[in-house]
Chain A
Amino acid sequence: MSDSVSQAAWGSWAFPFWATAGLAATALLYLRGWRKIRRTRPRIFPASRAWCFLGGLLALWIAIASPLDTLDGLLLTAHMTQHLILMSVVPPLLLLGAPLVPLLRALPRSVLRDGLGPFLRTPALYRVAHVLTHPVLAWLAMNIAYLAWHVPPAYELALRSPGWHEVEHACFLVTSLLFWFPVIQPWPSVARGSRWAMLPYLVGADLVNTALSAFLSFSGKAIYPSYANGPRVFGISAQGDQAAAGALMWVIGSIFYLVPVMVIAIHLLSPRSNRPAEVSRGSVATDHATRFDLLRVPLIGALLRARYGRMALQSVAFVIAVLVIADGFAGRPIGAMNLAGVLPWTYVRAFGVVALLMLGNIFCMSCPFMLPRELGHRLGLARLKWPRWLRTKWVAIVLMILFFWSYEAFAIWDHPARTAWLLVAYFTAALVVDTFFRGASFCKYVCPLGQFNFAGSLLSPFTLQARNQATCERCTTHDCIAGNPQQRGCELQLYMPQKAGNMDCTLCMDCVKACPHDNIGLYAVPPAPTSTGPFSSRIDIAVLTLIVVLSGFASAGSMVAPLSDSPGKYVILLVVLAILLLVGLAARGPSRREAFCRFSQALLPLGLAMWAAHLLFHLFSGWATLAPAIRQAGTDFGWHLLLPARWGMEMPLLPANSMLSVQLLLLDAGLLLTLYLGWRLVQQWSGRTSRAVLLLLPWATTVAVVYAVGVWILLQPMQMRGVIMNP
């Protein structure tokens, strides 16, 4: 074999992305749990346990990613080595890491107690596990799987079909984990029967291995047609390859069985005083629950709290907005070739929704319209209070509906000048309102974009909360809302001890900077838009969330042919709205008003999922338009430092089926979270399960219909807005 061929063979590594990511995540999870439990049980969890578990994961990765895997269709020896690792190296190492408790301890306490708890306490699960780990069954399972998969038809099936090949490997790994379980007895499992039984247990498995290995070595012909009829590499005949594979299984496989036999025998024969002390099996000590505070994270926390951090973000956004307006008025009048067509509608919207779901209201934090607002305030004319009768979301709701309608009616996305006018109008409105009215009246009562973000941020995983409620109770100055000479307080009048959810929070961090006790954190919280305290029975907030939800479906529906020019989508929306109203009115237990409001808010996950699925489609299909749009703007402005734009049809970032997977997965997650929130609501209102189910059923049916409409929309060919089709 030449050096180059040898190098090529050794360089044949595959990098299965999901498997690698899964193994890495498992390693991190284990290490997190191992560190926790090591504090209370250092003798049971020495470093060697972690090394064993990590070694097992590494061996597993080598088995599925190394040349052993890529060459297994050509060389039986490589394939058998891979099986040997999966059956005799990976399982003992993983079990030596005693993975159960560390993996469970790594999970958040609430997930463990409320999520997995009911399953883990199920007697049926214990019974199944008891049966599966019984030595007789484990021995039979492993050896039957081992023999059955080496029967030529089964082996050929695995070689022909990737799916069956994966099943074969899974069988080997799972049954071997069961087989090695009684041998290793990972903590905290208890030995079943005498340890002496492990000697015939292992020797018996070695005899089976020896029989199969000997058959392969001495059969005199290649028994697997794929190797017999396929290409021969490295100058080894098919029969020679089979004999070598048999010898490898025989020798190395026997070592893996007989070394534990010796270790167990020596242990059993040694005097009792020399045996390691029995470990205690007492209850596991509890950790103090700690909440994750983003403001405590180095660098990120400092950036968020920096005095001029937000202003820096806003300044960047302002400059971009000015460029967008300029290009909108003076650049090419085609949406997909202009910054005003590409940036706001393809990029900002998609990133904004993703940021809402992943972090929080990042758009409002870096809002470009804040700077003219500040300018208006500094003129000193802001003496008026926003009229009491307008201190609701109704103005913003009307503006939002107007915007969604005009977006489609005037094809704003395809007319850069109209986008530029819209931005100018926005700047003007912000300047005028906040020049004459005190506080953040524009943000709180007028800005439709802000209201969309406020509603969406009810689902965000981070929220500003007091670190210690007692500190707030002792505080007499209330700087978080009143401000102080160095720092203004919350302009939106959100008093920290009473703040519920993220409604009206622009993440400006003014409260954080103003608090003299450093008592405000940005905490990770479960998404729960139904527990929004004073907002939970406000009709205007409920209607706002409904508009956000239903506009997600209407907006996506406008992109697909059957609905784009049809009033059908509005009929669908009206029907859904009517059903929701009826469900709200029919609900008993809470007040009808509260039922309507909270059921409406519980729809947010589904609505935002639809928005994300829709906007990510445009981002992934039009991702390549930004660079040429910037160059085009440079050319239009006469900035010749930039290269000329080269327009062409770009491939989408994801293949069609992958994109659809992402979209459907998002919609699934939205559906499940919506149904879960609905279930929590009816549980609060009704003590009896049957009554709660009856209460939920009509609403859940509506949700299922809305979900089905969403799936149907996603399956239709969608307009490729923001993409150059024919340059």
Chain B
Amino acid sequence: MKPGLAAVLALGIWTAAAYGDGGTMLLHQDAGPFAITLFAAPQPLRVGVADLSVMVQDRTSEEVLLDPAIDLTVAEGASRETVRLARGQASNRLLQAATVHFSKAGKWRVTLLVRRGNDAASLSTECTVEPDRSRAMLVWFYVLLPVGIILLFVVHQRLKRRSEG
């Protein structure tokens, strides 16, 4: 096995992208007849697109409610976006999700309005949106990638020469 251990170990890398369950819990709170949990991904939230997911449960029985209508509003100063959440947007089908766009860094207020039959409840929370570093990181990654490969090639050539010599 020895030299090809790396090939097998590389399988470990493929456990990446295993996170598809709605993200990190931002809020879990009772409101009216509901228990509402808000998840967000990515964490921490950054300027750009984010997935917000909501689980609504019956407050007393803790039964997950699949059919409430959920409107989510994110607001910061004059910036405001309201979206209707949908179950098809979430890989975890117990949740309803939507994609929202945070246009700038700062404290954003997230407000949820949940309606089911004659019942309705609303709650809100504040979350911090950090500046977007993804583009800078992406550029650095792709600029440094060739450097890494060139170094690997240098090692390769040295080893080759040594084995031939």
Chain A residues at the B interface, C-beta cutoff of 8 Å: 1-2, 4-5, 7-9, 11-19, 22-23, 26, 60, 63-64, 67, 69-74, 86, 94-95, 99-100, 103-104, 114-115, 117-122, 125-126, 129-130, 132-133, 159-162, 165-166, 169-171, 173-174, 177, 181, 186, 188-189, 226, 229-233, 235, 655-657, 660-661, 664-665, 667-668, 671-672, 675-676, 689, 707, 711, 715
Interface residue B156 (Cβ < 8 Å from any Cβ of A): yes
Tell me the nearest residue of chain B to A115, going by C-beta: B156
In the assembled complex, the CB of B156 is this many whole angstroms from the nearest CB of chain A, namely: 5
* B21 with A126: CB separation less than 8 A: no
Q: A1-B63, A100-B4 are in contact. List 20 more A-B contacts (CB 8 A).
A: A9-B94, A12-B94, A14-B20, A14-B21, A15-B91, A18-B14, A70-B91, A71-B94, A94-B11, A100-B3, A121-B163, A126-B2, A165-B18, A171-B12, A177-B11, A177-B12, A233-B64, A660-B139, A668-B145, A711-B139
Q: How far is the CA of A689 from the CA of B154 in the complex (A)?
A: 11
* B138 with A161: CB separation less than 8 A: no
Which of B22-30, B70-78, B108-116 forms part of the interface with chain A?
Answer: B22-30
Q: How far is the CA of A408 from the CA of B75 in the complex (A)?
A: 44
A117 to chain B: which residues have CB within 8 Å?
160
* B18 with A169: CB separation less than 8 A: yes
* B94 with A126: CB separation less than 8 A: no
**The 4 residue pairs across chains A and B that have the minimum distance between CB atoms:** A14-B20, A129-B2, A664-B142, A16-B17
User: Digit string of B44-56 for contact with A (CB within 8 Å is 1, else 0)?
Assistant: 0000010000010
* A173 with B64: CB separation less than 8 A: no
Which chain B residues (25-41) contact chain A, with CB distance < 8 Å? 25, 28, 35, 37, 39, 41
Q: How far is the CA of A63 from the CA of B16 in the complex (A)?
A: 11
B24 to chain A: which residues have CB within 8 Å?
159-161
Instruction: Tell whether A711 pairs with B93 under 8 Å between CB atoms, given A103-B7, A230-B28.
Output: no
* A668 with B20: CB separation less than 8 A: no
User: Digit string of B137-165 for contact with A (CB within 8 Å is 1, else 0)?
Assistant: 01100110110011001011101110100
In the assembled complex, the CB of A551 is this many whole angstroms from the nearest CB of chain B, namely: 23
Q: How far is the CA of A169 from the CA of B18 in the complex (A)?
A: 9
Q: How far is the CA of A188 from the CA of B43 in the complex (A)?
A: 44
Instruction: Tell whether A174 pairs with B12 under 8 Å between CB atoms, given A230-B25, A661-B142.
Output: yes
Interface residue B119 (Cβ < 8 Å from any Cβ of A): no
* A186 with B1: CB separation less than 8 A: yes
B87 to chain A: which residues have CB within 8 Å?
8
Q: How far is the CA of A17 from the CA of B91 in the complex (A)?
A: 13
B159 to chain A: which residues have CB within 8 Å?
118-119, 121-122
In the assembled complex, the CB of A612 is this many whole angstroms from the nearest CB of chain B, namely: 15
Instruction: Tell whether A235 pairs with B62 under 8 Å between CB atoms, given A8-B93, A12-B93.
Output: yes
B4, B66, B92, B139: the one within 8 Å of A4 (CB): B66
Instruction: Tell whether A160 pairs with B2 under 8 Å between CB atoms, given A4-B66, A668-B142.
Output: no
Instruction: Tell whether A73 pairs with B16 under 8 Å between CB atoms, given A100-B7, A162-B43.
Output: no
Instruction: Tell whether A189 pairs with B139 under 8 Å between CB atoms, given A160-B24, A173-B11.
Output: no
In the assembled complex, the CB of A75 is this many whole angstroms from the nearest CB of chain B, namely: 10
Q: How far is the CA of A9 from the CA of B64 in the complex (A)?
A: 10
In the assembled complex, the CB of B14 is this many whole angstroms from the nearest CB of chain A, namely: 5
**Size of the chain B interface, CB-CB below 8 angstroms:** 61
In the assembled complex, the CB of B56 is this many whole angstroms from the nearest CB of chain A, namely: 9
* A119 with B11: CB separation less than 8 A: no
Q: How far is the CA of A579 from the CA of B94 in the complex (A)?
A: 63
Q: How far is the CA of A232 from the CA of B24 in the complex (A)?
A: 15
Q: How far is the CA of A22 from the CA of B19 in the complex (A)?
A: 16
In the assembled complex, the CB of A269 is this many whole angstroms from the nearest CB of chain B, namely: 27
Chain B residues at the A interface, C-beta cutoff of 8 Å: 1-5, 7-9, 11-25, 28, 35, 37, 39, 41-43, 49, 55, 57, 61-64, 66, 87, 91-94, 134-135, 138-139, 142-143, 145-146, 149-150, 153, 155-157, 159-161, 163
Instruction: Tell whether A132 pairs with B37 under 8 Å between CB atoms, given A12-B94, A657-B134, A715-B139.
Output: no
Q: How far is the CA of A110 from the CA of B7 in the complex (A)?
A: 18
Tell me the nearest residue of chain B to A61, going by C-beta: B14
* B138 with A657: CB separation less than 8 A: yes
* A19 with B93: CB separation less than 8 A: no
A233 to chain B: which residues have CB within 8 Å?
55, 57, 62, 64, 94
In the assembled complex, the CB of B97 is this many whole angstroms from the nearest CB of chain A, namely: 12
Q: How far is the CA of A694 from the CA of B120 in the complex (A)?
A: 75
* B2 with A189: CB separation less than 8 A: yes
* A73 with B25: CB separation less than 8 A: yes
A125 to chain B: which residues have CB within 8 Å?
2-3
In the assembled complex, the CB of A495 is this many whole angstroms from the nearest CB of chain B, namely: 36
In the assembled complex, the CB of A617 is this many whole angstroms from the nearest CB of chain B, namely: 15
B157 to chain A: which residues have CB within 8 Å?
118, 689
B66 to chain A: which residues have CB within 8 Å?
4-5, 8
* B93 with A129: CB separation less than 8 A: no
* B142 with A665: CB separation less than 8 A: yes
B61 to chain A: which residues have CB within 8 Å?
235
* A104 with B4: CB separation less than 8 A: yes
Q: How far is the CA of A689 from the CA of B165 in the complex (A)?
A: 13
A72, A174, A672: the one within 8 Å of B21 (CB): A72
A689 to chain B: which residues have CB within 8 Å?
157, 161
A-B contact pairs, 6 of them (CB 8 A): A71-B92, A100-B4, A126-B2, A161-B43, A231-B62, A672-B150
Q: How far is the CA of A121 from the CA of B4 in the complex (A)?
A: 11
* Residue picked from A1, A231, A672, most chain B C-beta under 10 Å: A231
* B138 with A226: CB separation less than 8 A: no
Q: How far is the CA of A63 from the CA of B18 in the complex (A)?
A: 8
B25, B93, B145, B150: the one within 8 Å of A226 (CB): B25
Q: How far is the CA of A226 from the CA of B145 in the complex (A)?
A: 37
* B21 with A71: CB separation less than 8 A: yes
Instruction: Tell whether A19 pairs with B1 under 8 Å between CB atoms, given A161-B43, A657-B135, A660-B138.
Output: no
* B15 with A170: CB separation less than 8 A: yes
* A170 with B13: CB separation less than 8 A: yes
* A675 with B150: CB separation less than 8 A: yes
In the assembled complex, the CB of B37 is this many whole angstroms from the nearest CB of chain A, namely: 4
Q: How far is the CA of A506 from the CA of B87 in the complex (A)?
A: 53
B4 to chain A: which residues have CB within 8 Å?
99-100, 103-104, 120
